[in-house]
Amino acid sequence: MKKYTYLLSVILVLISCKSNHRVVTSKSPPIKRTSKTQKTTKPVPTNSAKTTETASVESVSTSTTTNRIIRKALSFKVTKYKYGGISKSGMDCSGLMYASFKSANVELPRRSIDQSKKGVRVSQSKAQKGDLVFFKTGGKGRINHVGLVVSVNGRDVKFVHSSSSRGVMISSLKEGYWSNAFSQVRRVYSSSAANSSTSSPIVSPKGNSYVVKKGDTLYAIARKYTGVSASNIMNHNKLGSTSLSPGMVLKIPKRI
């Protein structure tokens, strides 16, 4: 009996020593370390730096005499056909050529048959922008239609002309009708006219004047005009020497 009493007292002591407080262990939430990411910004192009080029390739090319003539001819697109006309109120094929070349101070005859006698004849395979292309459409075996070459892409030669049915338009020598009616190509401006500002007139400019360009000499200018010599130009302009400066306007004397 004493033994049981002793055990009971030991058990009571142990129970009384046990803590009534719960130890709560909680895992602290992980600390998120946020690293600042550097933003990479792409440079935004600005318009502050303006291009200082004085002329683009196109502006240079369109400053040539040939392209000026072509540009004038294209400005008449969709103008109605009018026999004998030379304006936007109406024009025929030769009138279109006459008005276009006149804008560059180059005088052409008024009729297509007479225009076909100017300049030099070239083969169709060597056609260039600015050349005149002639046709025989009337069935009488003589030239009665003319167009102005505006582009050449291999064998595809396109020309602007005034058609009696559709007015001023662009056609191609690859088209059956124009291929069959084709007569000849003539050049009234040198082959360098499309790409160089030093183009040489085969038809004398209207007003018999010439604007000196860089590299020009009196002898080279004289060769552009039939029957005119360097001394003729010197005397006509009362020049004291043969030296020239770009931009100088020379009066070209009539054929001697």
The answer to whether 168 and 96 are in contact (CB under 8 A) is: yes
Nearest to 233, CA basis, from 215, 214, 217, 246: 217
Distance CA 242, CA 230 (A): 8
The b/e string for 49-79 (b: 16+ C-beta within 10 A; e otherwise) is eeeeeeeeeeeebeebbbbbbbebbeebeeb
Catalytic residues: 93, 145, 161
Tokens linked to 34: 């946020």
Q: Greatest CA separation found in the chain?
A: 164
* Cβ-proximal residues to 17 (8 Å cutoff; 6+ apart), any chain: none
Residue 101 CA: distances (Å) to CA of 151, 185, 227? 17, 16, 23
The tokens describing 241, both together, are 């020497």
